[in-house]
A and B are shown apart, each in its own frame.
Chain A
Amino acid sequence: GNSVTQMEGPVTLSEEAFLTINCTYTATGYPSLFWYVQYPGEGLQLLLKATKADDKGSNKGFEATYRKETTSFHLEKGSVQVSDSAVYFCALIGGGGNKLTFGTGTQLKVEL
C-alpha cells in the first residue's frame, strides 16, 4: 500500500534560517506528491505539489522536487519567518487513485 514518512518534529529554527523537512514515500504506480500546511487554528492548505518525476513545486518561497530515484519530496525554504510556524504534512495520491495518504506531520517553530 501507499505510505508517507516524514521527519519528526518539532523543528525549531531561528528566523532567516534554512529549512529542510524530509519526506519519503512508498507508492504503487506513479503518485502525485503534495505538501499541505496547517497554521494554528486553521484548516489544511495546499502549499505545493508535483505530479511527475523531476517536477519542482514551489509557493511562498517553499520548494520541493519529486525525486523518483530516492522516492523523496523534501520541503525546503531558504529563509524562514516567524509566520511560517505551522505543521507541515507531506502527502501523496497513488497512481490511478483518488485519496490522499498523509505523513504524520512535522511541526515547525520559528523564533526571533
Chain B
Amino acid sequence: DTGVSQNPRHKITKRGQNVTFRCDPISEHNRLYWYRQTLGQGPEFLTYFQNEAQLEKSRLLSDRFSAERPKGSFSTLEIQRTEQGDSAMYLCASSLEGGPAFFGQGTRLTVV
C-alpha cells in the first residue's frame, strides 16, 4: 500500500472518554500533518511534524489534544476527555519537504 493509512475509520465514544487515532504516512515522506474537518467546511490545520519533531501547533489544538510521531514514521493523535464539539473527521496527510500533501481517508469521530 503506497497511500496514507488511518485507523480506525470510524470511532464512536462517550463524552469524557479518551480516544487515540493512528496515521501511517507514505514511507519516504518526512512531513506529517493533522487536520480536522467538520461538515460543510474545509479541513483546518491542527499540527505538523518534520520527522519526529512537532514544529507547529494550531490554536485549535487545545491542551486536551496531543500528537506524537515517536520515530518519525507513524503518528498518533489523542483526545482526552472528549466533548461533543470534538465530533469531526480527523485527516492525516504526509509529504516530502516542498512537495504536495497526500491525504488519508480520515477517521470520523462521533462523541455521544
Contact = CB atoms under 8 A, between A and B. Distances in A.
Nearest to A91: B42
Interface residues of B, number: 22
A96 to B, nearest CB: 12
Given A43-B106, A98-B55, A105 B41 contact: yes
Contacts, number: 47
B69 interface: no
* Max chain A C-beta neighbours (<10 A), residue from B33, B48, B103: B103
B91 A46 contact: no
Interface in B35-70: 35, 40-45, 48, 55-56
How many of chain A's residues touch chain B, expressed as a range? 10 to 19
B42 A46 contact: no
Contact of B103 (A4, A43, A101, A103): A43
A34 B45 contact: no
A100 B43 contact: yes
A66 to B, nearest CB: 15
A46 B102 contact: yes
Interface of B: 4, 31, 33, 35, 40-45, 48, 55-56, 91, 93, 100-106
Interface of A: 4, 34, 36, 42-46, 49, 89, 91, 98-105
